[in-house]
Structure 1
Amino acid sequence: MPCPFLGSLSQTFVRNYGANLMKQYGNFCPIVSRGFRSFGNDETKCPFIQENAIIAEAPKEMSEDIVDNTPPYHYENFFHEQISAKKKDYSYRVFRKVSRLAADGMYPQALEGLDNRRVTVWCANDYLGTSRHPEVQDAAINAIKSYGTGAGGTRNIAGNSQMTEQLEAEIAKLHKKPAALIFSSCFVANDATLSTLAKLLPGCIVFSDAGNHASMIQGIRNSRAPKHIFRHNDPNHLRKLLSESPAGVPKLVVFETVHSMSGAICPLEEMCDIAHEYGALTFVDEVHAVGLYGKHGAGIAEERGLQNKVDIVSGTLGKAYGNVGGYIAGSSLLVDTIRSLAPGFIFTTALPPPVLAGSLASIRLLASEEGRQFRARHQAMVRYFKLSLLVAGLPQLPSVSHIVPVPVEGADKVARVAESLLRRGHYVQAINYPTVARGDERLRFAPGPFHTPEMIDSVVSSLIDAFHENGINFEQFIQNGACRECSMEYKMEVPYEEPYVYPMQVA
């Protein structure tokens, strides 16, 4: 006869503690303690004890030795399997030991590896080299001397510094918005803003570009708002989805201006007009455009005179502005709502003084005439690089921006080509899944104003050798009979033939 009390417990528990329970059943057993006279005259006699005699009569020492033999979960084995799978399909991320140099005459070079070998960097997002500009460096150094290296906590706890407010005012002015808010990174800015806004607006529906960055995808997912994904940079598909959505409910249309991996630029005006036609707010990520486009470096919206059509703009201080951090800019009430309700902002340590001061100096620098010279030199080097690939017969994805993607299909092949280039003194990181889809692997080049035509000639020559070395056929890309030997005949004239020198460094 099974015991209704012991039967309700796990076998492991009974094995370990059953003997003690039997010996003290008056305190533990809910059946005997309530008294069941039908079991006999003795209320304290358990009718099931005989069937559990082995456990009941076992010595205390033996009962305490009875343990569950189920082995614990092997966490380290699981982690090993996950990493092994990543390495097997070449999606494992290898972080190169690269220390970028800031001294005159060395940038954009870096020290690579344990032996500090000199290499040229082609994939950094410090697009204009402002991280090493004397004005930016001096501002950061002076801020450290005056205010220390850290913020001391969140803005609510440690206090809101004057530099924080100055930087937000400068960002708002740059984007012609009433207000701005800075975050620890643009990933956090996108995630916190979209998750808070889409969750807060009643019944909000999100329309997201298929090519959006992981930060925006994460923010939309965290909001748990219903979403529709429209084809990358396809305003017609966006219109179709919006036309099928209910009228009178809040809507967010979320997309980027410059796509980080393809270099494509969105049809900004058309997408904003369609969004507003259906009563939606536009959330536009200008991360890879701020500092690089427009008279003052405010991005594609400024370059095309469309800043008034963007409701919320997000940007970064960590790429063309050479520091770290992200931001949004928009209406005063919208910004205040995010400031008051977004956990990603409220509970994160504020940006430190040197970052605030360096970012403020960098924004002002790139809004000046010197910044316009940087942009002109930058675009000239990008054109030279693209044309050099073209005349050498090397593949490149169509890009109208400063990002130059060179496709190398296969995670194993793109990794080997990147390794071959590194051996030849050129650092460019292989891009594979999950950053891009499998089969869309590439090398992502970002030439800047401090690269020279000689550097570009060298990396193109090395790329040809790397393709040959790894058995990659690219002859089908040769156009107009161009070849390696005669490519210089097709090179365009590039302004500022000498490497750019900061004005304050000229004797």
Structure 2
Amino acid sequence: MSGTGADLKAPETQSGDLFDKFQPLIDTREKLLSTGVTDPFSLVMEKVLSPTVAICNGRETILLGTYNYMGMTFDPDVIAAGKKALDEFGSGTTGSRVLNGTYSLHKDCEDALKEFFGTEHAMVFSTGYLANTGIISTIAGKDDYIILDIDSHASIYDGCAMGDANVVPFRHNDIEALEKRLKRLPEGAGKLVILEGVYSMLGDAAPLSEMVPLCKKYGAMVLVDEAHSMGFIGENGRGVAEEQGVFDQCDFIIGTFSKSVGTVGGYCVSNHPKFEIMRLVSRGYVFTASLPPSVMATAATSIRKIMDAKYKREHLWKNSKRLHKSLTDLGFELGTKEPQSAIISVIMPDLERGAMMWEALLREGLYVNLARPPATPAGMTLLRCSLCALHSDEQVTEIIGMFERAGKATGCI
């Protein structure tokens, strides 16, 4: 069948193979799987029973690695809103926001964001990744400077790479290092400092109360990614910037719907008077299809419910503190000395031991994230736990017991 994909064959390995650059990772993966460990990056959830329980490998499993912080994925009001929108508006828009892809539900979701954050402007992107790349690559251009924490998320780095600004990293959460970078920049140059409320690998919060005023002192605009804190941290769930009293000094707040909101999508909110021009100049907004109306309905409903979720926030903090203390008492090394978010990272000796521990926990009936270099800071291997507001006290007790048994079985404690 000449001219079809049927006669395509895998080429023999040759010099200049574009896959050669991935060989170290291929070798690491093959070495790991040769030990008999289940591939930790190909787990399939056969059935999801609730925000905290799923069937994995035929077994009922507690979920402790889903970022479903507020447990909104099965909320009856959220599901009902999505079903209604699916019936009324169909499965998708087949167009971008600047053409035929803006429905009333997209505007309503942006209104919900403005209500939630108390801002004048809100833009919804098709993913959180696109929100970062779309804003960052557009807002800082040639002759401008981006100053960012070295542990920033991949989407932030990719946004920098897609733009034409000068990128200046500084040591993680180091206020003095940030000021040194700011001092060296040309006076009058455009400056954008990018920070995260909570860093996803170790679950540590940024000292925004000191960093944001410092940025303003040197004439820099500030973008804070609150992906892992929105909904949970702060009196109204607006994130670390709110909790530390500097929300009104931030120029842009970016986040995602794929965590506390419980669906998919990304957003940027701002009070900048010229912000609306971003709808015409951000390529990540202009040149991609908009989210399905059903997703917008679920997101808007979830956002408005999270506004009144004070009890959930209190319960999640209680469980985070309890799990952090219990794992520390068992002898595990954690990413933070005190709990700073709903992320609790357990540091493993190496990737092999980490994979063994991950598999032992899965056999116990517990799913966590196995995070490895290069995604992790300082080459660490982590078992990353993400608590949900709907984890019961009894489930947390079970989780602690599972960690103890798996830790002893693998020699990690």
Aligned residue number for residue 211 of structure 2: 271
User: What is the DSSP-based 3-state SS (H/G/I as helix, E as strand, rest coil) of the residue aligned with 2:231?
Assistant: coil
Assess, with a 3 A threshold, how the Cα gap between structure 1 residues 160 and 332 changes in structure 2: closer, same or farther. Answer: farther
Larger RCO: 1 or 2 (CA < 8 Å, sep 6+): 2
User: What is the DSSP-based 3-state SS (H/G/I as helix, E as strand, rest coil) of the residue aligned with 1:443?
Assistant: strand
By how many angstroms is 1:301 displaced?
2.0
Q: 2:84 aligns with which of 131, 135, 142?
A: 142
Aligned residue number for residue 377 of structure 1: 315
The question of whether the paired residues in 2 share the 8 Å contact of 1:175 and 1:307 is answered with: no
CA offsets, 1:445-496, max 9 Å, x none?
Answer: 1122222233222222222222222233x3xxxxxxxxxxxxxxxxxxxxxx
Aligned residue number for residue 239 of structure 1: 179
Looking at structure 1, the residues matched to 256 and 331 of structure 2 have their Cα atoms a distance apart, in angstroms, of 35
Looking at structure 2, the residues matched to 100 and 376 of structure 1 have their Cα atoms a distance apart, in angstroms, of 29
The question of whether the paired residues in 1 share the 8 Å contact of 2:209 and 2:245 is answered with: no
Q: Which amino acid aligns with 1:430?
A: L
The question of whether the paired residues in 1 share the 8 Å contact of 2:67 and 2:259 is answered with: yes
By how many angstroms is 1:90 displaced?
4.5
Aligned residue number for residue 285 of structure 1: 225
By how many angstroms is 1:79 displaced?
9.3
By how many angstroms is 1:305 displaced?
3.1
Q: Which amino acid aligns with 1:237?
A: A
By how many angstroms is 1:125 displaced?
0.7
Looking at structure 2, the residues matched to 411 and 450 of structure 1 have their Cα atoms a distance apart, in angstroms, of 30
Looking at structure 2, the residues matched to 170 and 321 of structure 1 have their Cα atoms a distance apart, in angstroms, of 12
By how many angstroms is 1:82 displaced?
6.4
CA offsets, 1:113-157, max 9 Å, x none?
Answer: 2xx321111111111110111111111111111111212221223
Aligned residue number for residue 130 of structure 1: 72
Looking at structure 1, the residues matched to 159 and 67 of structure 2 have their Cα atoms a distance apart, in angstroms, of 23
Q: 1:459 aligns with which of 387, 399, 402?
A: 399
Looking at structure 2, the residues matched to 170 and 203 of structure 1 have their Cα atoms a distance apart, in angstroms, of 36
The question of whether the paired residues in 2 share the 8 Å contact of 1:388 and 1:457 is answered with: no
Looking at structure 2, the residues matched to 401 and 356 of structure 1 have their Cα atoms a distance apart, in angstroms, of 27
Looking at structure 2, the residues matched to 223 and 389 of structure 1 have their Cα atoms a distance apart, in angstroms, of 42
The question of whether the paired residues in 2 share the 8 Å contact of 1:410 and 1:438 is answered with: no
The question of whether the paired residues in 1 share the 8 Å contact of 2:40 and 2:358 is answered with: no
Assess, with a 3 A threshold, how the Cα gap between structure 1 residues 218 and 77 changes in structure 2: closer, same or farther. Answer: closer
Looking at structure 1, the residues matched to 198 and 158 of structure 2 have their Cα atoms a distance apart, in angstroms, of 19
By how many angstroms is 1:346 displaced?
0.6
1:35-54 aligned at under 5 Å gives the runs none
Looking at structure 2, the residues matched to 301 and 152 of structure 1 have their Cα atoms a distance apart, in angstroms, of 36
Q: Which amino acid aligns with 2:224?
A: V
User: What is the DSSP-based 3-state SS (H/G/I as helix, E as strand, rest coil) of the residue aligned with 1:152?
Assistant: coil
Q: TM-score, normalised by structure 2?
A: 0.89
- Verify: 1:317 aligned to 2:257, yes or no: yes
Tell me the percent identity. 28
By how many angstroms is 1:303 displaced?
2.5
CA offsets, 1:386-436, max 9 Å, x none?
Answer: 222233333322242221111112111101100011111111121111211
Assess, with a 3 A threshold, how the Cα gap between structure 1 residues 400 and 394 changes in structure 2: closer, same or farther. Answer: same
User: What is the DSSP-based 3-state SS (H/G/I as helix, E as strand, rest coil) of the residue aligned with 2:147?
Assistant: strand
Segments of structure 1 that go 5 or more residues without pairing to the other structure are 1-70, 475-507
Looking at structure 1, the residues matched to 143 and 88 of structure 2 have their Cα atoms a distance apart, in angstroms, of 48
By how many angstroms is 1:161 displaced?
1.0
User: What is the DSSP-based 3-state SS (H/G/I as helix, E as strand, rest coil) of the residue aligned with 1:260?
Assistant: coil
User: What is the DSSP-based 3-state SS (H/G/I as helix, E as strand, rest coil) of the residue aligned with 1:295?
Assistant: coil
By how many angstroms is 1:197 displaced?
1.2
Looking at structure 2, the residues matched to 129 and 205 of structure 1 have their Cα atoms a distance apart, in angstroms, of 38
CA offsets, 1:249-294, max 9 Å, x none?
Answer: 1101011011111111111121111111111100110000111122
Q: Which amino acid aligns with 1:155?
A: R
Looking at structure 2, the residues matched to 77 and 167 of structure 1 have their Cα atoms a distance apart, in angstroms, of 42
User: What is the DSSP-based 3-state SS (H/G/I as helix, E as strand, rest coil) of the residue aligned with 1:195?
Assistant: helix
User: What is the DSSP-based 3-state SS (H/G/I as helix, E as strand, rest coil) of the residue aligned with 2:98?
Assistant: helix
The question of whether the paired residues in 1 share the 8 Å contact of 2:97 and 2:285 is answered with: no
Higher strand share: 2
Aligned residue number for residue 297 of structure 1: 237
Aligned residue number for residue 270 of structure 2: 330
Aligned residue number for residue 52 of structure 2: 108
The question of whether the paired residues in 1 share the 8 Å contact of 2:101 and 2:289 is answered with: no
By how many angstroms is 1:374 displaced?
1.0
- Verify: 1:413 aligned to 2:360, yes or no: no
Looking at structure 2, the residues matched to 227 and 81 of structure 1 have their Cα atoms a distance apart, in angstroms, of 29
The question of whether the paired residues in 2 share the 8 Å contact of 1:317 and 1:359 is answered with: yes
Q: CA RMSD in A?
A: 2.3
The question of whether the paired residues in 1 share the 8 Å contact of 2:101 and 2:290 is answered with: no
Looking at structure 1, the residues matched to 377 and 197 of structure 2 have their Cα atoms a distance apart, in angstroms, of 20
User: What is the DSSP-based 3-state SS (H/G/I as helix, E as strand, rest coil) of the residue aligned with 1:130?
Assistant: coil
- Verify: 1:152 aligned to 2:112, yes or no: no
Looking at structure 2, the residues matched to 179 and 400 of structure 1 have their Cα atoms a distance apart, in angstroms, of 29
Aligned residue number for residue 119 of structure 1: 61
Assess, with a 3 A threshold, how the Cα gap between structure 1 residues 240 and 100 changes in structure 2: closer, same or farther. Answer: farther
Q: Which amino acid aligns with 1:120?
A: I
Looking at structure 2, the residues matched to 157 and 340 of structure 1 have their Cα atoms a distance apart, in angstroms, of 11
Assess, with a 3 A threshold, how the Cα gap between structure 1 residues 89 and 180 changes in structure 2: closer, same or farther. Answer: farther
Aligned residue number for residue 97 of structure 1: 44
Aligned residue number for residue 9 of structure 2: none
- Verify: 1:255 aligned to 2:214, yes or no: no
Assess, with a 3 A threshold, how the Cα gap between structure 1 residues 305 and 174 changes in structure 2: closer, same or farther. Answer: farther
Larger Rg: 1
CA offsets, 1:343-385, max 9 Å, x none?
Answer: 11111110111110001000100102xx111111111111221
Assess, with a 3 A threshold, how the Cα gap between structure 1 residues 234 and 100 changes in structure 2: closer, same or farther. Answer: farther
Aligned residue number for residue 422 of structure 1: 362
- Verify: 1:229 aligned to 2:173, yes or no: no
The question of whether the paired residues in 2 share the 8 Å contact of 1:100 and 1:108 is answered with: no
User: What is the DSSP-based 3-state SS (H/G/I as helix, E as strand, rest coil) of the residue aligned with 1:189?
Assistant: helix
Segments of structure 2 that go 5 or more residues without pairing to the other structure are 1-11, 34-38
Assess, with a 3 A threshold, how the Cα gap between structure 1 residues 387 and 93 changes in structure 2: closer, same or farther. Answer: closer
Aligned residue number for residue 20 of structure 1: none
Q: 1:186 aligns with which of 106, 118, 128?
A: 128
User: What is the DSSP-based 3-state SS (H/G/I as helix, E as strand, rest coil) of the residue aligned with 1:224?
Assistant: coil
Looking at structure 2, the residues matched to 158 and 335 of structure 1 have their Cα atoms a distance apart, in angstroms, of 21
User: What is the DSSP-based 3-state SS (H/G/I as helix, E as strand, rest coil) of the residue aligned with 1:124?
Assistant: coil
Q: Which amino acid aligns with 1:345?
A: Y
Assess, with a 3 A threshold, how the Cα gap between structure 1 residues 374 and 99 changes in structure 2: closer, same or farther. Answer: farther
